[in-house]
Copies of this chain bind each other. A is one copy, B any other.
Amino acid sequence: MNVSSGETETAAGQPEGATSSLARLLIDRDEAERLAAVLKAIADPTRLQLLRLIERAPAGEACVADLTDCLGLRQPTVSHHLKVMTEAGLLTRERRGTWVWYAVDRGGLHRVRDILDRAA
């Protein structure tokens, strides 16, 4: 049996027209790649920890030094995670004087929820 041939399998007993109906529901590849990139940016335990820390910090913002202490990680590691999440639209970043403050981008999190609603 040629299991790599979906067409053969379909011909062997699938409801006629099922495949063509499904094809019309296919999410666009470019859109799927954009959505996957945002999900990848939070599919990491340290980033999930950072998101919660920042969200629940006083005034909803924190700087790298606070986060470094909490997680017991080196500053360059924390900065890298923050950069990835900022670029993915999950965090905002603002320099005030010596410090750079990070806050959760509500719009970014809503977009992730939308991804889930649209994907399924």
Contact = CB atoms under 8 A, between A and B. Distances in A.
A36 B45 contact: yes
User: How many copies altogether?
Assistant: 2
In the complex, the 9 A-B pairs of residues with the closest C-beta atoms, listed nearest first:
A6-B68, A9-B65, A32-B45, A39-B43, A6-B69, A40-B43, A43-B43, A25-B56, A36-B45
Interface residues of A, number: 66
A87 interface: no
Interface string A43-56: 11111110111111
Interface of A: 3-7, 9-10, 12-15, 18-19, 21-23, 25-27, 29, 32-33, 35-36, 39-40, 42-49, 51-58, 62-71, 74-76, 98-99, 104, 109, 112-113, 115-116, 118-120
Contacts of A48: 27, 32, 35-36, 39, 115, 119
A109 to B, nearest CB: 5
A57 B25 contact: yes
Nearest to A39: B43
